[in-house]
Every structure is written in structure tokens, then in C-alpha cells.
Amino acid sequence: MADLLRGVAMAALKGLDTTLELTRHAQALKRQGYDFALRYYSHNASKNLSLGEARALAQAGMRIGVVWETAGTRAGFFTRAQGLADGAAAWLMATQAIGQPFGSAIYFAVDYDPTQADIDGAISNYFTGVHAALYVANEGRPSYRVGVYGSGLCCGALMERGIAACSWLSQSTAFAGSRQYAEQKRYDMIQMLPMRIPGEDGILLDIDPDATHPDRDPGLFVV
């Protein structure tokens, strides 16, 4: 079920994101105080969230978040057609592979420092395509909240225009608007600098620490 707690005061949650498969490490992460893990939907099966992994995280008492990330590292990637394709692919993974509950979020990554012109044009067009794909896939009924991962400038612009329903601020504080976005606590989630932590049997895991805004619902879920 989704964590549909909008408008309810909550404590900030401690989390992490990683490309590593976490099934065997879920209990060890929970013992270290992690409340959630953010994992991937993509065309690269080796980094994608699996149903077994999602269930292991849930059984350990952890929530899950997901981000669609492929090649969004330059303005030329972002078009409405690409948004349609990515939205449709993310929908299939969420519904068919994972059983992600409606009302939770799928974040879409803008993994570079875009200009205002990029945001106004290519990136806005891409997110319009994502929305259209989800609308068609669920026959016009509400399904997943569309989140944005990126810079403060990008997150702020898409949130203000209603193109994104939630924002995950990237760790790159030098990106345009990111320092102010963090200081003003406008994010739903915030990512911090990479680190290594112990997993099961002392295996070191490369992760990025994350935290939620204490008063906002970032669209996490369990299955």
C-alpha cells in the first residue's frame, strides 16, 4: 500500500539509493536505522528493482521508492516522444513486474544541470509526455504521481507548474538553484554525498544517503 499521508506531520525518514540489488541486505539495512530504499526502473535489468527485492525490503520494515533513469544527462535526450516512451515503460514495470500501488510516485531523473531554457522547452515537453503515457495506460484514471529528480532550479520549476507532484533534490549542490532549494526545504526528498556502508556479512555497499521532508509525502510504498 502507498504511504498516502499528505497533510499529516511526520518525522523525517532516513534512506538510501543505490544501483545494487538489496534483497540479502534488507535486514542489515533496517538494523542500521534505514527506513527506505530508492531503487531503479530502467532498460538495464542489472540495476532494476525486482519483486523479490521489493518484498524483502517490505518484510524488513523498509519502504521503497523508485526512479526511472536511463540517459537523461543532456538536453538532447528530453523530448515529448521520449517522455511517452519512458512513461509507458515505467508503467509496465510498476504494474506488471512490481505491483506498485497507485497513489505512490515514480520519479523521473534529470541527471545534469539544465538551463532555464532546457527546463522551459525540452524537459517540460518530456514530463508532458510522461503524464500523457500514464493517462493513456490507465484509461484516464489517476495512477502514479510523477516525481522529478534533479537540480533545485529544475525541481522548483516543474513543481511550480504542476508538471511534477513531488521532488527529489540531487546531491549536486553546485547545480543551479540547489543550495537555495535545500536551505528553503522545498524538497520532498534530498540526496546527500555518496558513502559506503556495511551490508549483510560485512559486504560494503556503495550508496547515496537520502532523507525525506518531515511534513511531506514523497510517494514511498510497500508491496
Residue range 39-84, pLDDT digits in tens? 999 999 999 999 999 999 999 999 999 999 998 889 999 999 999 9
Q: Is 6 a residue whose pLDDT tops 50?
A: no
Whose grid coordinates read 500501488?
A: 101
What CA–CA distance (Å, rounded) separates 127 from 147? Answer: 9
pLDDT value of position 36: 98
pLDDT value of position 71: 86
Q: Is 5 a residue whose pLDDT tops 60?
A: no
Residue range 10-27, pLDDT digits in tens? 689 999 999 999 999 999
Residue range 114-162, pLDDT digits in tens? 999 999 999 999 999 999 999 999 999 999 999 999 999 999 999 999 9
Q: Is 33 a residue whose pLDDT tops 90?
A: yes
pLDDT value of position 219: 98
Report yes or no: 164 and 158 within 8 Å, Cβ to Cβ: yes
What CA–CA distance (Å, rounded) separates 145 from 104? Answer: 6
pLDDT value of position 10: 64
Q: Name the β-bridge partners of 189.
A: 168, 212
- What is the pLDDT averaged over residues 90-111? 98
Joined grid coordinates for residue 96: 506488471
Residue 102 has φ and ψ, to the nearest 5°, of -60, 150
Q: Is 3 a residue whose pLDDT tops 80?
A: no
Report yes or no: 190 and 210 within 8 Å, Cβ to Cβ: yes
pLDDT value of position 9: 42
In this prediction, residue 184 has a pLDDT band, given cuts at 50, 70 and 90, of very high
What CA–CA distance (Å, rounded) separates 194 from 91? Answer: 29
Number of residues that make up the chain = 223
